[in-house]
Structure 1
Amino acid sequence: MTTEYIGRGDPARTLALLWRDPSRARERAPRKGRPELTADRVIAAAIEVADAEGLGALSMRKVADHLGVGTMSLYTHVPGKAELIDVMLDTVFKETFTDAQVPHGWRARVERIARDNLALYRRHPWILQVAAGRPPLGPGTLGKYEHELSALDGIGLTDLEMDNVLALVGAYVHGAARGVVESARAAQETGMTDEEWWRAHEPFLAAAGDFSAYPLAGRVGTASGEAYNAASNPEVAFEFGLARLLDGIAVLIEGR
Structure 2
Amino acid sequence: MTETNGGDPARTIATLWGTRKLPRRGPKHTLTTEQVVAAAVGLADGDQDVATLSMRRVAESLGVGTMSLYTYIASREELLEAMLDRVYEEAVGELGEPGDQGWEDGLREVAKVNWNLCLRHPWVLQVFTGRPPLGPHSIAKYERELAVVEGLGLTDVEMDSVITLVHDHVEGVARRRIEVDRAVRRTGMNDEQWWEKVGPLLAEVFDPARFPLAARVGRSAGEAHQAPHNPEHAYAFGLARLLEGVATLIGGRGGPLVKTR
| TM-score computed with the length of structure 2 as normaliser | 0.88
Query: Which of residues 56, 69, 79 is equivalent to 1:74?
Result: 69
Q: Percent identity?
A: 49
Tell me the CA shift for residue 209 of structure 1. Answer: 3.9
Residue equivalent to 1:98: 93
Q: Counterpart of 1:123 in structure 2: which amino acid?
A: R
1:136, distance to aligned residue in structure 2 (A): 2.3
Structure 2 contact 2–126 (Cα < 8 Å) conserved: yes
One of 14, 17, 32 as aligned partner of 1:16: 14
Q: Is contact 1:87-1:136 (8 Å) kept? A: no
**In the aligned structure 2, how far is the partner of 1:133 from the partner of 1:172?**
18
1:85-126, Cα deviation, whole Å (9 max, x unpaired):
111111111111126644510000011001100111001111
- Specify the code of the residue in structure 1 equivalent to 2:133: P
Count of paired positions: 245
Match for residue 258 of structure 2? none
Which whole-Å CA distance do the structure 2 matches of 1:193 and 1:21 have between them?
Answer: 48
Q: 1:84 Cα deviation (Å)?
A: 0.6
- The DSSP-based 3-state class of the residue aligned with 1:133 is coil
Aligned AA (1:11): P
Give 4+ residue runs of structure 1 displaced > 6 Å after superposition.
none
Q: 2: distance between equivalents of 1:132 and 1:243? A: 28
Structure 2 matches for 1:211-230, cutoff 5 A?
A: 211-230=208-227
Matches of 2:53 and 2:45, distance apart in 1 = 10
Aligned residue type for 2:122: P
Write the distance in 1 (CA, Å) between the matches of 2:96 and 2:124: 26
**Paired letter, 1:78:** I
How far apart, CA to CA, are the structure 2 residues paired with 1:137 and 1:36? 27
Equivalent in 58, 78, 87 of residue 83 of structure 1: 78
* Equivalent residue, structure 2, for 1:7: 5
Number of the residue aligned with 1:237: 234
Q: Kindly indicate whether the alpha-carbon contact (under 8 Å) linking 1:6 and 1:136 is maintained by their aligned counterparts in 2.
A: no
Deviation by residue 1:12-71 (Cα, 9 ceiling, x = unmatched): 21111001159x9xxxxxx9xxx9411001001111111122110010001111112211
Give the Å deviation of 1:133: 2.9
1:145 is the counterpart of 2:142? yes
1:1-256 correspondence runs (5 A): 3-21=1-19, 36-53=30-47, 54-98=49-93, 101-102=96-97, 103-255=100-252, 256=254
Please give the root-mean-square deviation of Cα atoms over the aligned residues, in Å.
2.0
Structure 2: tracts of 5 or more residues without a match: 23-27, 255-261
Q: In structure 1, the residue corresponding to 2:242 is in which secondary structure?
A: helix
How far, CA to CA, are the matches of 2:151 and 2:214 in structure 1? 45
1:139-189 CA distance string (max 9 Å, x none): 011101100011011111111111111111111111111111112222112
How far, CA to CA, are the matches of 2:166 and 2:203 in structure 1? Answer: 41
C-alpha spacing 1:123/1:227, structure 2 compared with 1 (3 Å): same
Q: Counterparts of 2:95 and 2:228 in 1: how far apart (Å)?
A: 37
**Counterpart Cα distance in 1 of 2:145 and 2:30:** 36
TM-score (normalizing by structure 1): 0.90
